[in-house]
């Protein structure tokens, strides 16, 4: 298991067991966050291997909001994911579509918006816990509320 640690002013991942430095957050990712999210505080850095594909995740706090910046193995920005606390924060067409797709709001697990670094929303994503099937389901809409497959 790994967690965030600090080495001087450098963010890095440390092994919880012995504190050995494993991997610093690449400077290119720190520079991206500084350029596109001025004043943001970097809270966490993770390297994820998803079925053999390497991704970098940088969690930031920017303008009173937690965001996750996702990059590919070449440090190319892919998407910014921001959580949505309440369904009422969704645009009305998006809310109506998600209610039609997943009417049991008690099963709603998480709401997010996917945006580019300029803050332009590309999609809204609802994660629903399907207890009967023992898995999670994702429902996506575009900003106008049209379902995305």
- Distance spanning both ends of the chain, measured CA to CA: 34
In this prediction, residue 132 carries a pLDDT of 80
Summarize pLDDT for 67-118 with one digit per residue, the tens. Answer: 999 999 999 999 999 999 999 999 999 999 999 999 989 889 999 999 999 9
Cβ pair 44, 4 in contact under 8 A: yes
In this prediction, residue 143 carries a pLDDT of 97
Q: Which residue has the tokens 């390297």?
A: 47
From edge to edge, which strands make up the β-sheet containing 65-72?
41-50, 53-62, 65-72, 77-84, 108-115, 121-130, 135-141, 147-148
Burial class (CB in 10 A: 0-12, 13-18, 19+), 22: exposed
In this prediction, residue 22 carries a pLDDT of 60
Between the CA atoms of 32, 120, 82 and 3, what dihedral angle is there, to the nearest 10 degrees? -20
| Residues paired with 149 in a beta bridge | none
Summarize pLDDT for 15-67 with one digit per residue, the tens. Answer: 445 444 467 899 999 999 999 999 999 999 999 888 989 999 999 999 889 99
For the beta carbon of residue 134, count every other beta carbon within 10 angstroms: 7
Cβ pair 144, 93 in contact under 8 A: yes
Q: Which residue has the tokens 């575009």?
A: 142
Does residue 6 surpass a pLDDT of 50?
no
């Amino acid at each position: 298991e790994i967690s965030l640690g600090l080495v001087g002013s450098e963010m890095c991942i440390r092994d919880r067991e012995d504190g050995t430095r494993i991997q610093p957050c690449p400077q290119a990712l720190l520079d991206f966050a500084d350029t596109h999210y001025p004043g943001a505080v970097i809270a966490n850095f993770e390297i994820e291997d998803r079925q053999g594909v390497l991704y970098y995740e940088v969690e930031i706090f920017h303008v009173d909001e937690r965001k996750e910046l996702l990059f590919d193995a070449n440090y190319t920005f892919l998407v910014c994911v921001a959580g949505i606390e309440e369904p009422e924060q969704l645009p009305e067409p998006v809310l109506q579509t998600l209610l039609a797709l997943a009417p049991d709001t008690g099963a709603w697990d998480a709401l997010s918006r996917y945006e580019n670094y300029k803050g332009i929303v590309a999609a809204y994503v609802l994660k629903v816990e399907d207890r009967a099937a023992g898995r999670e389901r994702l429902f996506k809409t575009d900003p106008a509320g049209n379902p995305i497959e």
